Each structure stands twice: as structure tokens, then as C-alpha cells.
Amino acid sequence: MNEQFFHQLVSGKRRGPAAALLRAGLWGGQWPYRAAVSLRNRRFDKDSDAVARVSVPVISIGNLTVGGTGKTPMVKWVARYLREAAVRVAIVSRGYGAEQGAVNDEAIELEQSLPDVPHLQDPDRVASARIAIEELETQLILMDDGFQHRRLGRDLDIVLLDATCPFGHGHLLPRGLLREPVGSLRRADVICLTRADLVDESERRAIKATALKQAPQALWCEATHAPQRLISSEGREQTLATLDGTRVAAFCGIGNPAAFRRTLESLGCKLAAWREFPDHHRYTREDIDQVAVDAAGADLVVCTHKDLAKVQSEILGNRPLWALEIAMQWLSGEQQLAERLNLLAQQAAAAE
């Protein structure tokens, strides 16, 4: 079962007796998963010794579902905000999908976008945080994909909900996309609805009501993922106007490929070819050859920044390869979130 088939299945888009039977099997499979998640959360809720605290403030950025909710643009925005406040920040993450002895695609992308922010990848994020503090003189830890990693204590828990699928089709894995029950939002300090421009205002209100029912104390924010520019592997830039009316061969290996496609189409390009790969996909020579064939019917090739970090090429199929760079654009809650970050920045400075 590939990733695209799985999403169609759990969303209910795939119909028929066979699909219904598969969903029934997945429905049964979610209960052992629910039990395991419940036991683990109960342990951290009741045993304060299970949580390790470090000597500097920690901000966690995570989500409730599998797939892309826009963590990387949020990590970039928070890290840049704190760096502008002269706070020495380090990012710690698990490093999912990385080959042994290497870093994953997200780390490469963040390194290119945030050259002055160290990024440590290790499943033991407590150990990474301590190394960052002791060896890199870090004043504040930014934990990427940290909502479920409860062993490292945090001072601010930011949880992202993708407006196009905020609650994982209403089921835990493997029947749906939820990593935890929706009730786990009670731990959140900040809830940010990403890609909020892709649903109407009534849907946004309904999502907000559901989320804040679980976490009435949380700050509510809404944001979009706004395209900024086209970039190449060698750092060259083009404006977004380059895409208007242009025939594009596009590919991606991300958690939410549909959102990437919608963004491209909104910029006026004509999709001559479209190819999806699984999230965190490791591109093979065969994959690149397939994209090169697609490129024959296009003027240029476009992918995400994360994909460009792995492909690292200027040309595919005799066509220029560009990545679409995305950034957070706030609709609401930016000032209130900034105020919370300012308080942590002050704590970080006072601890010196």
C-alpha cells in the first residue's frame, strides 16, 4: 500500500467493497495503537521524573497528525524571530529518514535557510539539547516535531493543524492520520491553523471551535504558506512571475503534495507533468530519469525546497530545476505569539 493509496483509503475517497473491507481492518488496528499512546501519555502525565528539564528555555513545534502541516516554515519563522532578538538558538530533531551518519532532507533545507542556527539530529533529543547548551553555548532550544516527544520538557508547546485535514479524518493511525487523540491538544500552549487560506471562514471557525474546546487556554493563530521566490541549488533566484503561463514539470516527496500542487496552479503555471513520491523519499537514479523524461514536455522543472536539498542539481532533462520557497504569512495571532517568544528570549538572556 503506497502513501497515495493510503491517503485515498482513509479519507474515504477510494470506494468499493475492497476499500470498505480494508478500512474495517484498519479500524480494528487503531485500538492497539490507541492503547499504546494512552499508556505512554499517562506515564508522562503522572510521573514528573519521566520529563527531563534542561537549563535553557525549550520551544516545541509539532503536530497532531502525520503528513505535512508546515512545521519547517514555522521553525524557520520562530528561529529567525529569536535570532533577530540576539538569542542563540539551536534546533534539535529526531532526524527521521536520514541515512546512517547523515542528516535528513529537512535538516539540509534548514541549514541552507538558517546558516547561523545549529541543527542537531538524534532520536535522544535530551542528549542533543544538552550538547547544544554545553558545547555550542545555546540559549534556547527549538525542538522540531516535538509534540509527541514528551521526554524533553518544554516551556512553549506550539501545535500546527493543517486546515485541509486538521483532525486526520477523525481516526488514529492506521485508520486515520492522527498520531494522538484530538484531546491531546489540551497540552498545547499555541495552536496554529496552517494553510488557512485553503478553506472558507466557516470551516476555519469550526476547526477553531473543536480545537479550543480541548485547549481553551491556548493561543489561537492562523497562517498561510505563501510562496516567496524560486531558488536553484547554487543559490540563484527568480521571481514568482517566472511561472505565469510557463509549462512546468513538477515533482515532490512531501507529506502534503496536494497543497504544493494547488500553490503551483495558483501562480499561473501550466502543469505539463506531475509526479508524487513518498514523504522523505530518497531519490534514485531511476527516479531522476523519470522526472527528466517528464521535463521534455516542459519549459522548466519545479520541486519543493526539501526535494531540491536532496536532488542537488541545476538541470533535469536539459531543463532548469527550481525550488519554490515557502514562508509563513500570518492572518492572525502573530503579535500574541511574538509576545510569548519575547518572554522566553528574556528568560534566555537572564540565564546567562
The reply to whether 204 and 120 lie within a common domain is yes
DSSP letter, residue 169: G
**Do 102 and 63 lie in a common domain?**
yes
The pLDDT value given to residue 109: 85
256-269 residue pLDDT tens: 888 899 999 999 99
Cell (9 digits) for 254 = 512531501
Same domain, 12 and 73: no
pLDDT at 119: 95
Domain count, the chain: 3
Same domain, 31 and 160: no
User: CA neighbours within 13 Å on the CB side: how many for 344?
Assistant: 27
Looking up cell 499517562 gives 42
257 and 268 co-located in one domain: yes
Query: Rounded to two decimals, what is the model's pTM?
Result: 0.91
- Strand blocks (E) in 98-256: 119-121, 140-144, 156-162, 190-194, 219-231, 237-238, 247-252
In the prediction, which pLDDT does 102 show? 58
Do 212 and 253 share a domain, yes or no? no
pLDDT confidence tier of residue 29, bands split at 50, 70 and 90? very high
The helix (H) or strand (E) run that includes residue 316 is: strand 315-316
**Across the strands, what pairs with 330?**
223
Same domain assignment for residues 187 and 206: yes
Q: Residue 298: pLDDT band by 50, 70, 90 thresholds?
A: very high
Annotated binding site for ATP: 65-72
Asked if 34 and 127 sit in the same domain, the reply is no
In the predicted structure, residue 100 carries a pLDDT above the cut 60:
no
Q: Coil, strand or helix: which one is 255?
A: coil
Does the pLDDT at position 98 exceed 60? no
Same domain, 344 and 306: no
C-alpha grid cell for residue 28? 480494528
114-131 pLDDT, tens digit per residue, is 999 999 999 999 999 999
- Tell me which residue range forms the domain holding 32: 3-46
Query: How many Cβ atoms sit within 10 Å of the Cβ of residue 242?
Result: 19
Q: How many CB atoms lie within 10 A of CB 247?
A: 15
Quote the distance between the C-alpha of residue 340 and its chain's center. 21
State whether the Cα torsion 328-92-36-216 is positive or negative.
negative
- Which residues does the annotation place in the binding site? 65-72
- 3-state class (DSSP) for residue 86: coil
DSSP lists the bridge partners of residue 156 as 59
- What's CA 171's distance to the chain center, in Å? 20
Is residue 41 domain-shared with residue 55, that is, in the same domain? no
Confidence category of residue 144, pLDDT binned at 50, 70, 90: very high
Cell 497532531 appears where?
A: 64
Verify that 237 and 109 share a domain, yes or no: no
* Strands 319-332 and 315-316, bridge-based pairing: antiparallel
